[in-house]
Chains A and B, each alone.
Chain A
Amino acid sequence: MSKQYEFKASILPYLLVLPQMVIVFVFFFWPAGQAVLQSFYLQDPFGGKMIFVGFQNYSKLLADPDYWQSFSVSTAFAVCITLGAMAISLFLAIQANKKIRFASFYKTMLIWPYAVSTLVAGVIWLFMFNPNVGVIAYVLKHTFHVDWQYLLNFNQAFLLLTLAATWKQLAYNFVFFLAGLQSVPATLIEAAEIDGAKSGTRFWKIIFPLLSPTTFYLLVMNLVYGFFETFPIVHSITQGAPGKSTAILVYKVWRDGVINLDLGSSAAQSVILMLLVIMLTVFQFRFIERRVTY
């Protein structure tokens, strides 16, 4: 019976994969190759003049303290978002998974923010916290007498961006954690209860280890989100200000390339980001995945 499902012709599988490969080539390999190529040139935006400069675009970046500052801010940003969003959403998922009244109402409400686009999320937070027009900024200033001026205060700007980006990511994590929790066999927990395990022990010894595939998956997704998908939040709330302290790597690539038309440097930055993603992925799958029990 199984015989008829075998492909005899060796060309067919390649043909079947071809459409996918064409898409990957056109939308990934080709632009990536272009970026690598452009990163070795100094060029005028109209393409009239291209001067080969070798690794100068890279060496300039690596010698630029601003670039390293952007690097460390991006890392801190991604780590804060990942830790914050995962811890809070795990807590919420556990609470929502309990047998309580209106459980499905809470669940729906917690999943809702997922429908908000990242840019809109940024704008919502901007309108709440902008010192010129924000409602909460007004309360902070006039009721609590906080000197709220994130346009000039880096710590406040960083805090606001982290809060906004974390909030946006909560719903996504929540869905996965909730699903993970629901797939933990009730029999295991009941058995532990009978053996006298307290709720803390039950969580750390049984539920958390069983959740680890979900946690690992979310760790990867959250880091990628923090590094690469928070662009709209930075773009709408701080635009890299104050100074250039919150210009995270992806924001800087866009700013230098699209607004400032410094295509060589922008290309070099995106190549570095590309290497970073490759390294991150390899590292995670090689070293972390081994310790995860699926």
Chain B
Amino acid sequence: MKRVILLMAVLLMAVGAYAQTTVEFWHAMTGHNGEMVQAICDQFNASQKDYKVVPVYKGSYSDTMNAGIAAYRAGQPPAIIQVYEVGTATMMAAKNAVKPVYQLMAENNMKWDSSIYIPTIKSYYSTSDGRMLSMPFNSSTAVMYYNKDAFRKAGLDPEKPPVTWPEFFEVAKKLKASGMEGGFTTNWISWIQLENFSAWHNLPFGTRSNGFDGLDTQLVFNSPIHVRHFQNIYDLSKTGVFIYGGRENKANPLFTSGRVGMHFESIGGYGNMKATCKFDFGVARLPYYPDVPGAPQNSIIGGASLWVFNGKSKAEYKTVAEFFNFISQPETQALWHKETGYLPITQAAYELTKSQGYYEKNPGLEVAIKQLLNKAPTANSMGIRFGNFNIIREIEDQTWEEILAGKISVKDGLDKMVREGNKTLREFEKLYK
């Protein structure tokens, strides 16, 4: 009798294991965002019995990507991995290592229409002929944050943030004159003041549709308008109206402690701003130069997407396809959007959030979406796709610091960024040709 029970138990376990497929999802989300990743996976796992997705936190974006690469080389990759936008070209070029999302969905006969995604988000992760390679996950865009209390103190209308760059610089000077330590600062010099700046003015950042059409692309962000913009910021740094706060998002404390009145940062930082700013702040669109034809166009995204590794079983791919379908649902997206501040990736999720009246209480988030949807994306504003992009951004950060320190002129600095960036693009081309 005992034996029979044992045998039945073993059989049951075997059936259980056979029926449910488990896949791993490696990600880089911390804090509340990490909890939300867990919550969404839990919801998916609870919604049916056949598939299970297990989220695993792997450290920073670069740690996660390196862990994925190492695991792939060792033959044990996870099914799903979250990769930041600068790693997009590297993942895309690794053709044998990844399974494109459009292919995954087709092979699993999913009722899936890639046109539900917001165009600027979809295009960032698609080939130039529109085939989606990775699943958008956490997307953000760059916006302007401004201190409404400081506006009031300086005699400015807090409901009328500057719209153009000339207006913006005037306001910045007034804020400093009103007793603030400086007028403005910015995070992410490359992403905000070069990549988004270019897209927003419908200017090419690089040739070949910003790299979408081929590896033989060249950087071209040293146009007279780019030089003018950087010259303006540099000139204001001399009078202390612009204060440099460091790379990546390190300038945040300058704004949150009330030392400068205006700041550029990702909308993904909205929650953090709400938590740390002890003053009334607003979110506005990026300023533009009114004499540039076509401006403002639309801003581009940053953040990360989900890639699928090659060499998994049929059942595992089915699980991934079901999971991707789940996270594309308006309800899931609206929850993610509201909880994290990242943008909804589908139009339906945006409409749903709007109908829930959420933007009346949080107008800042809608500013970002509207900015992204401002116009249909052009070749200059679909996104950015360059190999070795991390190195290019590093070159830009380094050279920007040399410009501010007075070691190199603005024009020479931008030329140097382009020249050195192109060198690293040629290396990438050589490797993948």
Contact = CB atoms under 8 A, between A and B. Distances in A.
A242 B402 contact: yes
B66 interface: yes
B188 to A, nearest CB: 15
B73 A243 contact: no
Dominant SS at the A interface?
loop
15 contacts: A42-B431, A45-B69, A46-B96, A46-B97, A132-B245, A132-B254, A151-B246, A152-B244, A239-B247, A241-B398, A241-B401, A243-B398, A259-B390, A261-B69, A262-B388
A37 interface: no
B26 to A, nearest CB: 15
A258 B388 CA distance: 12
B62 interface: yes
A149 interface: yes
B402 A261 contact: no
A44 B91 CA distance: 10
Given A133-B253, A151-B244, A259-B390, A45 B401 contact: no
Interface string B165-197: 000000000000000000000000000000000
B97 A132 contact: no
B295 to A, nearest CB: 30
A119 to B, nearest CB: 15
Interface stretch (A47-55, A224-232, A269-277): A47-55
B100 to A, nearest CB: 15
Interface string B190-229: 0000000000000000000000000000000000000000
A43 B432 CA distance: 9
Contacts of A152: 244, 401, 404-405
Interface string B389-424: 011001001110110110100000000000000000
Contacts of B2: none
B72 interface: yes
Given A46-B73, A259-B390, A243 B246 contact: no
Nearest to B395: A244
Given A51-B431, A258-B62, A46 B246 contact: no
Contacts of A255: 394
Contacts of B152: none
A49 B431 contact: yes
A260 B388 contact: yes
Contacts of B390: 259-261
Interface string B69-87: 1001100000000000000
A153 interface: yes
Interface residues of A, number: 28
B215 to A, nearest CB: 12
B1 interface: no
Given A153-B405, A258-B66, 6 more contacts: A42-B427, A44-B90, A51-B431, A152-B405, A241-B401, A261-B66
Interface in B123-163: none
B3 interface: no
Interface string B248-272: 0011011001000000000000000
Contacts of A132: 245-246, 250-251, 253-254, 257
B245 A44 contact: no
B275 interface: no
Contacts of A153: 405
B94 interface: yes
Contacts of B253: 132-133
Contacts of B245: 132, 151
B93 interface: yes
Contacts of B73: 46-47
Nearest to B407: A243
Contacts of B72: 46-47
B361 interface: no
A164 to B, nearest CB: 17
B430 interface: yes
Contacts of A42: 427, 430-431
Nearest to B430: A42
Interface string A170-204: 00000000000000000000000000000000000
Interface of A: 42-49, 51, 132-133, 149, 151-154, 239-244, 255, 258-262
Contacts of A240: 398
A242 B94 CA distance: 33
B107 to A, nearest CB: 22
Nearest to B73: A47
Contacts of B405: 152-154, 242-243
A242 B251 contact: no
Contacts of A51: 430-431
B266 to A, nearest CB: 18
A141 to B, nearest CB: 9
A152 B238 CA distance: 13
Contacts of B254: 132
Given A44-B432, A46-B94, A132-B253, A243 B399 contact: yes
Contacts of B399: 243
Nearest to A238: B246
Interface in B18-72: 62, 66, 69, 72
A46 B391 contact: no
Given A44-B94, A45-B90, A48-B94, A241 B62 contact: no
B96 A259 contact: no
Nearest to B97: A46
Contacts of A241: 246-247, 397-398, 401
A233 B151 CA distance: 39
Contacts of B246: 132, 151, 241
A44 B66 CA distance: 12
Interface string B364-407: 00000000000000000000000010110010011101101101
Nearest to B420: A66
A149 B391 contact: no
A62 B405 CA distance: 27
Contacts of A133: 253, 257
B251 A44 contact: no
Closest 4 CB pairs of A and B: A132-B253, A46-B94, A242-B401, A46-B97
Contacts of B397: 241
A244 B398 contact: yes
Contact of B244 (A43, A47, A48, A149): A149
Contacts of A259: 62, 390
A260 B94 contact: no
A44 B72 CA distance: 13
A48 B310 CA distance: 13
